[in-house]
Chain A
Amino acid sequence: MKKSKGSMQILGAAIVVATIAVFSAYLIYQNIPVFIKQDAERLAREYIFEMEQEGYLSAENMLSLKKELEDEKCKNVKITATNSKVEYGMHIYLNIEYDTVLKELSMEDGLLPKFKDKTITVPIPNKTISKCTS
């Protein structure tokens, strides 16, 4: 009887320890898409400010932006942008969309929580005015 009580206590303790570890890992995972989005927004910022001066996004720059986004772990990157030079005062845009994987906690099969992947599409819209005078 005493032995069984001890086993229950060990099992209880193991569940508490596992829950703390899983929850801690979950919070660490949650930072990853935040950092990816921060990097993607920083890149979008750099390119739209350059576009303001140039009046468009060249094909070369579009490829280079796509590569930089993929290097930052953005998946299925889609870029649409003003791709031919527009005059001063006309609007220019740079829209980025990419997929990112979120880790979600799921209790579907079993006692302990498990991680489940959920893919979401993140939009980064940017629109401003061309200041290109040349």
Chain B
Amino acid sequence: MKTALLWDPGVLEYRFRPDHPFNPKRLELTVSLIEAMGLLDGTDHCMVPLRPATHEELVRVHAPEYVAAVRRLGAAGRDTGEGWRWGLGTDDTPVFPGMHDVTSLVVGGTIRAAELVMSGEVTRALNLAGGLHHGHRDRASGFCVYDDLAAAIAWIRAAHGARVMYIDYDAHHGDGVQGIFYGDPDVLTLSIHESGRFLFPGTGFVDELGEGEGYGYSLNLPLDPSTEDDSWIELHRDLIPAAAEAFRPDVIVLQNGCDGHTLDPLTHLRATTRLYEETVRTVCEVADRLCGGRVVATGGGGYAVWQVVPRAWTLVWAGLSGQEAGNDVPRAWLDRWQGESPVLLPERLRDLPGEFPAVPRRAEVEAVNRRTLESLRRQALPLLSGWGMGF
């Protein structure tokens, strides 16, 4: 099986402010860890450069006026006063110089990943800089300027007419992608995330099922804020294969936000690295069984930049490329980065079982989550099976 890791240091310019939580350093750390672990050796696994998205590719999912505004603001390099109309110039998503060009590169990277997978050159591809799932049709939001995932899905639809299943493990609801394909029955969006009761963007409840023709093709599993690995894994093992079998995708697009980890400062979920190994394994099994193994994967959220992201995404890459990763973080990698890191870097790739204290109300959390899944199954799966199977 051939796999591709999309990489270009140019994406390190997707950077809002020096102290901004969305820190591109995590990409550099991850790629260097993947290399240090020997997970890019051999002829089956290659590194592929990104290319910028074309205007046509952007306006498939974004309003032309919005793209024009991002160009203008990026050229000005600061908010000239119109930013608020487009969700830009906020503390979350400030205007920065060259904003249009670097975000186009991120978007083009995910489309390039899709091209490689759909042409059969590789079976799976990963664009770590991608995963900007809060990008809306005419509005930036939550650190996301353009929506690379939606653009790649739209490219797959336009170039191949394939049915796309989108799976989003980010701790935040994938509202941008869901919104753009809310009425489309050929794109199934499925987001598992911390409940919007407190967490941004405040959406992603079970009753958001799509609209019109797309009713039943938008699935959301909101988790209790204190959800740990066991409950999360149990639910996704139950839901992902069932939803995929009902929908019968031609390709899976996978967002691997790792901000549901216990140590992530922006969310309240309590996952460990085990979750990210497990989710990728399940998704790849489903893809192997139903759609020729095809997975187009991206990064996403992840704000424990030093302690979590490099390890979680190295495990994601290992899973996608069908390699067994060792458990020791190489000494050379630790030596290279420890001096710069404000925290002690973990020496094991995987968190230990029991490394973090158990949630006191675990039984209650698990029961709440099971009830949510039951509610989703009851409401959504009948629609999906009925329509997906052509009844």
- Is the A/B pair a real complex? no
- Which residue numbers of A lie inside 8 Å of B, CB to CB? none
Q: B interface vs A, CB < 8 Å?
A: none
